[in-house]
Structure 1
Amino acid sequence: MEDSSRKEHPVVSLTDDLLLEILSRVPYKSLCRLKCVSKSWLALCSDPIVRKKAPQTLSGFFYQSYTEPTFNPSDLRHHFTNLSGRGKPMVDPSLNFLFSANYVEVEFVHCCNGLLLCSCEKESSDGEFDRVVCNPATEKWTVLPKTEARLGRSTMYLGFDPTVSLHFTVFLLSEFTRGMQDNEVAEEDEIDNWYHQIRAVEIYSSQTGRWTYHRSQWGEKSIQIFSSSVFYNGALHVTTLDSSVNTVDTEGKVWRTIPTPYYPIFIGMSQGFLYAVHGPRYSSQLSIWVLKDYGGKEWSLKQTIDSVELFGTHNIFFVDGSPPKVIAIHPECSSVFMILVLRGNLVSYNIDNRKMHDICNLADQSVDPYLPYIPCFAEWFSDGH
């Protein structure tokens, strides 16, 4: 009989190079589970080559508050919670590498596939802010050049898809066009402090290192500043007030308007499809829709949620007439993430099994934005630091 103790384990017989190549194809979340098997697995799974090459997924959320202590010297306090709600943050939310560059205030603006867009103020800058794109995983960063949008409200969104290109795009949506004066929009500005027509979009490419100016081709449709957005199919998608989603590609050449069944309070991407969530004012109902035919613009109702029934009346805050705040949808499974405003809790709801999971309680007085984070360990392809 063959001595079983002398049998060589098939994994042991593999070379280190082959093991690294195999493990680099395993999602990073699964690698974290393998670390518990043995010390040898721990060493392999912690290898920088594996960590950088492994497919990444949603790992947690950046957010800010005004009360909890941190190393951030500004008034805003920076936080990061892992997706599990437990353990040491996988990245340093204080972004000390930016403060080491003489910035005295850093504010989160937007996040996309591992890159973070921030507004940074330097000491003795008289209120002037730099717009900085950084990678918290590698601590690399670059300062964006100034733009034409110096008047009125504007909003910046980040576009980045490392599976397509390691260059990023920044979209600046402005309610003004070049040459417009303050008195031309003062009356409009008094009508409504939140909803304005986007008249221009400026697009920054890290590949060219410059901004390009484009007059909006979305027509006379109003769009909400600080609206929900997602970078999907190589284009920015943003919600509008007239129950639609406006899109523009990274070169400002392709403009689309996709009608939605209702005004969406949130849009996101999951499993290759575009999702939209509708939550009417003064209602506990949330309806979740999916665009299965992107070209045909046909939406299907995925599910309707009664937030009072799901979370209880003691967890829902209706003073502002809003249901729980939807902040993300998992890119690989049907889980929607929400903030229970009254308690400050981060929760997830699985659409398929209709189960709710209480992740964690956020810092006191946490504030927007709540930014979903997918790590990116790729090398920096921009003229940054």
Structure 2
Amino acid sequence: MERALMGDPLSKLTDDVLVDIISRVSYKSTCCCQCVARRWRNLISHPDHRTKLHQPTLAGFFFESYNSTYDYPKMAQYEMGHYYTRVSNDGWPHYHPSLSFLPKCKSLDILDCCNGLLLCRCWKPTYPKTLDYVVCNPATEKWMIVPATNWSSQVEVARLGFDQAASSHFHVFEFITDSVWGHKRGHHDGNIKAVGIYSSKTKGWSHTVTGWGNGTRISSDSKSVFFSGMLHVTTNYLVLAVDVEGNNWKIIHLPMPPCTDNATPKDIFPTQGQLYFANNGASNGFELWVLENYDSEHWTLKAKASYLEMFGTNHSYYDCGYSVISVRPEENVFFIVCGNKASVVSYKMDSLNRNVIDDIVWSKTPYIPYVPLFSDSESLADEHQVLLQ
């Protein structure tokens, strides 16, 4: 009764003071604060406050690996399985890699992760093979089915674009090769001929012939990042970019080639609003570059380390034999997979202290970095209830 007469004391706080208070709690608590009141949600989601509030950080990696069972006298049997490993034991939950909350399917492929959402391919038990895409949020267990196109079952590369700060909707990108895009005769060399783009806002696909020209190929394990409204994906010595409408196309040249002719640089990462390139094919070790000027394609070397500094006296064993799976310049850390045990290792860039996170025998890349999203986009809110009817 006394509090009611006095009024809500929090309502008397100015926006600046309230933002300062919220900035002192963890990211997960910040997400909970959005449920307090509409004013709190608007303050937290406002672009001007993003730099002041805690942002989500890397929690772990989804990946595929071989399960081995020994059945004498048939010897070892190997089957693919899904796994998830945490980067630390600082309270982040362990997300089960089976994603058992998703609809049942014959097999599941995790294709991409973008700002907390996963893009999965769910194969149906039919002949010929058919599939649906599923976009889901492991932190909230919300999901949405994205219907397949006429080309989906033959498409090797599909990626996800999502940025909650810009829009509550996501986009799925299919990269269609010349052999799939209606070309039954003639020479096929696996070049990308067209791109299909699905919008969760319109709930429909659009298709357009690529604006990158001829001779562009994208491997199934190429990295992709989404920022500034464009999806960026790597190929040999290049970064290819396309916007969500399929109107703007861009080619960005990487700062230097890898150490061997058949090596393909795939390690690009977005952080702090910029594009980073981790060159693990440098002749003398590891190099981290940042794209300082997007329009002029000006790259700047931000950090480097020799094989001796990274691996000690056994460095010759790892030369060109490791893969960068995530970089966090704001935390001065990068993550790699290396060695015959496929060890997931974190490195501090200033001290080069090594920390083995996990040992994964018979591993299979890609390793998909996962940053949790504790609030859902509008697209995932109960959409699956509608689509299953």
Partner of 1:367: 364
Q: Give the 3 Å change call, closer, same or farther, for CA 260–140 of structure 1 in structure 2.
A: same
**Deviations for 1:216-248, whole angstroms, at most 9, x for unmatched residues?**
11112433322222112111111221x221110
- Distance in 2 separating the partners of 1:153 and 1:375: 28
**Deviations for 1:304-363, whole angstroms, at most 9, x for unmatched residues?**
222343124657755xx7331111122743322111142322122233x14233141143
What secondary structure, in the 3-state scheme, does the structure 1 residue paired with 2:64 have?
strand
Q: Residues 62 and 97 of structure 2 are in contact (CA less than 8 Å); yes or no, is this contact kept in structure 1?
A: yes
* Structure 1 residue 379: Cα displacement: 3.1
Partner of 1:35: none
Q: Give the 3 Å change call, closer, same or farther, for CA 208–261 of structure 1 in structure 2.
A: same
Partner of 2:85: 81
Q: Residues 169 and 199 of structure 2 are in contact (CA less than 8 Å); yes or no, is this contact kept in structure 1?
A: yes
What secondary structure, in the 3-state scheme, does the structure 1 residue paired with 2:365 have?
strand
Partner of 2:268: 267
- Distance in 2 separating the partners of 1:215 and 1:201: 6
Q: Give the 3 Å change call, closer, same or farther, for CA 131–125 of structure 1 in structure 2.
A: farther
Partner of 2:182: 179
The amino acid of 1:258's aligned partner reads: I
Partner of 1:255: 249
TM-score normalised by L of structure 1 = 0.77
1:94-109 mapped onto 2 (5 Å cutoff): 94-98=98-102, 101-109=103-111
- Distance in 1 separating the partners of 2:313 and 2:67: 27
Unaligned residue ranges in structure 1 (runs of 5+): 1-12, 32-43, 189-195
Partner of 2:226: 231
Q: Residues 201 and 213 of structure 1 are in contact (CA less than 8 Å); yes or no, is this contact kept in structure 2?
A: yes
1:246 equivalent to 2:243? Answer: no
- Distance in 2 separating the partners of 1:247 and 1:287: 23
Q: Residues 217 and 235 of structure 2 are in contact (CA less than 8 Å); yes or no, is this contact kept in structure 1?
A: yes
Aligned residues: 341
RMSD of Structure 2 on Structure 1 (CA):
3.4
Partner of 2:165: 163
**Deviations for 1:81-109, whole angstroms, at most 9, x for unmatched residues?**
222157774423221111xx322322211
- Distance in 2 separating the partners of 1:30 and 1:90: 15
- Distance in 2 separating the partners of 1:114 and 1:125: 33
The amino acid of 1:324's aligned partner reads: Y
The amino acid of 2:56's aligned partner reads: Q
Q: Give the 3 Å change call, closer, same or farther, for CA 215–331 of structure 1 in structure 2.
A: farther
Q: Residues 326 and 369 of structure 2 are in contact (CA less than 8 Å); yes or no, is this contact kept in structure 1?
A: yes
Q: Give the 3 Å change call, closer, same or farther, for CA 131–212 of structure 1 in structure 2.
A: same
Q: Residues 108 and 369 of structure 1 are in contact (CA less than 8 Å); yes or no, is this contact kept in structure 2?
A: no
1:357 equivalent to 2:359? Answer: no
The amino acid of 2:119's aligned partner reads: L
**Deviations for 1:139-186, whole angstroms, at most 9, x for unmatched residues?**
1111111224258553001111111111101111121263211x4245
- Distance in 2 separating the partners of 1:154 and 1:238: 14
Q: 1:134 aligns with which of 109, 133, 136?
A: 136
TM-score normalised by L of structure 2 = 0.76
- Distance in 2 separating the partners of 1:57 and 1:244: 27
Unaligned residue ranges in structure 2 (runs of 5+): 1-7, 45-53, 70-77, 258-264
* Structure 1 residue 209: Cα displacement: 0.7
Q: Residues 119 and 134 of structure 2 are in contact (CA less than 8 Å); yes or no, is this contact kept in structure 1?
A: yes
- Distance in 2 separating the partners of 1:313 and 1:68: 32
What secondary structure, in the 3-state scheme, does the structure 1 residue paired with 2:309 have?
helix
